Chains A and B, each alone.
Chain A
């Protein structure tokens, strides 16, 4: 077959290895400590340079494998710093700062994500990061955080450390309005949103199958089952679209930007819906900060605020890959 949507052996291997690493170093329960994630293990795994050319040669993997890896990061509610590092390494490399790119990939130079807001930027899990990657609409900018004293922001119930700086307070050393980089950012953000949606679904199903009320697991009640089925449907649609969009972007197909924009909408919708539903199905414990459900909900909201997907009516939608369009031919 010339078309095949199964994972190949290479893909199974790297995703399997990533799962083992994430289970060992990034169990979701670590989030209870409310500290910025330490991304050293991910850097050691090679997560931030997965699809970048290595030592002047070819990249080991493509955005397809990178996107699938980011689904796993989403499942483990890994800091948005991992996204920021993967994209900042590209931005640095694209703008001729190969030393900086190397440092980011190696994990010796930390990057955190920054959300552009009116008159300010919100830094997510800054920790010791010396740079911030600002998601500014469809553009990405690299900010030098050296000597910047950011103010803590109390929101999201302190679950994830947030700080703010004024717009222009940090020196901008690079900016990109490149469509391919914007699409890559949306692809990886969406992949993490999908991971969050899948994890929320799985967590909720496991809880519903275990929690007993009225003398039986609540998962036996249709009201609960149908919530879970809805979570499965949204995640499945976003997951199928992730494959389509990642392949389109890797192969530089004409419909890549549209496929990514569609993915971003589906992934945001699934992540927000699934995490909200997860709180509801968990009941009282879901509303508590002692269970892990709220971490997924908050991560879904943070990821949704990184940048902005392209307009869904701005591009022609294709009917078939490689194909002329339904309209305008």
Chain B
């Protein structure tokens, strides 16, 4: 077991730090709408221009092909520089769809989509959840019937963040008529400009309108857009979730290390006070979360579901950090929109990407080997 960086790693860190210092935008990113798209794509394109996008992506598709250590270093410097939150409208493309296309896609799909994603040319959104299929994703009913060399999609998706400004969607649909549960699904690339798509944005409790409902009325999608095989969509979606629960959140987890330090500095707790104890304990837990992030990247997983441990820890810890900010900063938290915003947004951390309750079921059943719920 070792955590030793080479001189070359340290040089990489110094270069990353210097570049971020000179280039990371200082203004606050617009949270939604066309402005959020323009801002995020401009920032990603600038990263890409100077070789700072796709750090661990393979070089043949425009990435840097660097090691996990370098990826960690990059994110550490990224959050240190307080660069724009990684959870912006490029998140799905960079952390979900891109890695899934890379893992399960055809050569044509990879060659077309991956460079566009890394180059900051396109926005992707997710199309998994439905009004009747939230935690129970396998209950989804949006249908896609094969018609010649196309699929014809009818139905509805929901909680699709940035669908209103997206170019593509990772869409999970039922392609085998009459199929049940995990069978007969397909993971397809949906062009959001296709005829028959209607997007209705939904405002969230933080006052931000990044997610949306998407309606499909006889939307035609080429069969060549299926990723990972027709009717094999559940397997592809599990690959997507694997990324979501493992690598996607590195930036978010490390970001919490900066937030807790900011909070401690702002709170100036009296030594020995209840506030000092609370902040000290949160600081320890954020350190523990960071160690879990390291472990997820630098150790062979004992179990494919291990990511659920990190995901659940992060979500609940983020909420406790922001709740502490609201309690400790008092009126200052309300006066400073950024803490209140983070606090309100953090409610989604135990809902999105599998609720805390679902994560606990996964941990119990797939890691601890407890009986499955029938």
With a CB–CB cut-off of 8 A, which chain A residues contact B67?
1-2
Interface string of A1-32 (1 = CB under 8 A from B): 11111111001000000000000000000000
Q: Does A144 contact B (CB under 8 A)?
A: no
Task: Confirm or deny: B332 has a beta carbon within 8 angstroms of a beta carbon on chain A.
Answer: no
Structural contact, A240 and B265, CB atoms closer than 8 A: no
Q: 1/0 contact trace for B312-352 toward A, CB 8 Å? A: 11000000000000000000000000000000000000000
Partner of A2, one of B1, B2, B286, B368: B2
Contact with A along B283-313 (1 / 0, CB 8 A): 1111111111011001110000000010011
Chain B contacts of A228 at CB under 8 A? Answer: 363-364, 368, 370
In the complex, identify which listed stretch (B140-148, B185-193, B254-262) lies at the interface while the others stay far away.
B254-262
Chain A, 156-186, contact with B by CB distance < 8 Å: what is the 0/1 string?
0000000000000000000000000000000
Q: Establish whether residues A8 and B1, one from each chain, have CB atoms under 8 Å apart when the complex forms.
A: yes
Which positions 54-99 of chain A face chain B at CB distance < 8 Å?
A: 64
B276 at the A interface (CB under 8 A): yes
Q: What per-residue 1/0 map shows which CB atoms of A233-262 lie under 8 Å from chain B?
A: 100111011011011100100000011011
The one of A5, A217, A319 that contacts B371, using a Cβ cutoff of 8 Å: A217
Q: A3-B3, A205-B369, A226-B357 are in contact. List 16 more A-B contacts (CB 8 A).
A: A1-B68, A3-B72, A4-B2, A6-B299, A208-B370, A222-B360, A228-B364, A229-B368, A230-B360, A236-B309, A237-B291, A263-B284, A265-B281, A265-B285, A317-B260, A321-B3
Per-residue B-contact encoding for A302-329, CB less than 8 Å = 1, 0 else: 0000000001110001011111001100
Q: In the assembled complex, which residues on chain B have CB atoms less than 8 Å from the CB atom of A243?
A: 1, 291, 294-295
Chain B: minimal CB distance from A326 (Å) = 5
- A226 to B359, alpha carbons, bound, how many Å? 9
Report the separation of the CA atoms of residues A238 and B9 in the bound assembly, to the nearest whole angstrom: 27
Please tell me if A288 contacts chain B, counting CB pairs below 8 Å.
Answer: no
Inter-chain contacts of B295 with A (CB < 8 A) = 5, 240, 243
- Within the complex, the shortest CB–CB distance from A250 to chain B, in Å, comes to 9
Dominant secondary structure of chain B at its interface with chain A:
helix
Q: Are B368 and A266 in contact (CB under 8 A)?
A: no
Classify the interface of chain A: helix, strand, loop or mixed: helix
Give the docked Cα–Cα distance between A8 and B298 (Å).
13
The answer to whether B1 touches A313 (Cβ under 8 A) is no
A326 near B68: Cβ-Cβ < 8 Å: no
A313 & B313 in contact (Cβ 8 Å cutoff):
no
The residues of B with any CB-CB pair to A shorter than 8 Å are: 1-6, 9-10, 13, 67-69, 72-73, 76, 79-80, 254, 257-258, 260-261, 264-265, 269, 271, 276, 279-281, 283-292, 294-295, 298-300, 309, 312-313, 357, 359-361, 363-365, 367-373
Of B72, B73, B261, B364, which one neighbours A326 at CB under 8 angstroms? Answer: B261
Cβ B298 vs Cβ A229 within 8 A: no
Report the minimum CB–CB distance from A270 to chain B (whole Å): 10
A239 to chain B, nearest CB (A): 8
On whether A233 and B309 interact (CB within 8 A), knowing A238-B288, A262-B288, A266-B284, the answer reads: yes
A219 touches B1 (CB 8 A): no
Contact status B309-A322, CB under 8 Å: no
Taken together as a complex, chains A and B put the C-alpha atoms of A220 and B73 apart, in Å, by 42
Q: Does A232 make an interface contact (CB < 8 A)?
A: yes
B183 → chain A closest CB, angstroms: 24
Q: A11-B1, A205-B369, A266-B284 are in contact. Are A313 and B264 (CB under 8 A)?
A: yes
Given A2-B5, A3-B2, A232-B367 contact (CB < 8 Å): yes
Q: What residues of chain A lie closer than 8 Å to B254, measured between beta carbons? A: 319
Q: Which residues of A contact B365 (CB under 8 A)?
A: 225
Proximity bits, A277-288, B CB within 8 Å = 1, else 0 = 000000000000
Contact across chains for B283 and A262 when beta carbons are under 8 A apart: yes
13 contacts between A and B (CB under 8 A): A2-B6, A3-B294, A228-B368, A232-B309, A233-B313, A233-B363, A237-B288, A240-B292, A243-B291, A312-B284, A313-B279, A317-B283, A320-B76
- Are B287 and A258 interface neighbours, CB within 8 A? yes
Chain B residue at minimal CB-CB distance from A226: B360
Residues in A with CB closer than 8 Å to B79 are 319
Most buried by B among A11, A205, A225, A323: A225
Taking the closest CB of chain A, its distance from the CB of B88, in whole angstroms, is: 21
Inter-chain CA distance A266–B317, complex, in Å, is 13
Contact status A3-B69, CB under 8 Å: yes
Q: With CB as the reference atom, state the residue of chain B lying closest to A208.
A: B370
Is the pair B368, A240 in contact by a Cβ cutoff of 8 Å?
Answer: no
Q: Is the CB of B1 within 8 A of A4?
A: yes
How far is B269's CA from A233's CA once the two chains are assembled, in angstroms? 29
- On whether the beta carbons of A319 and B309 are closer than 8 Å, the reply is no
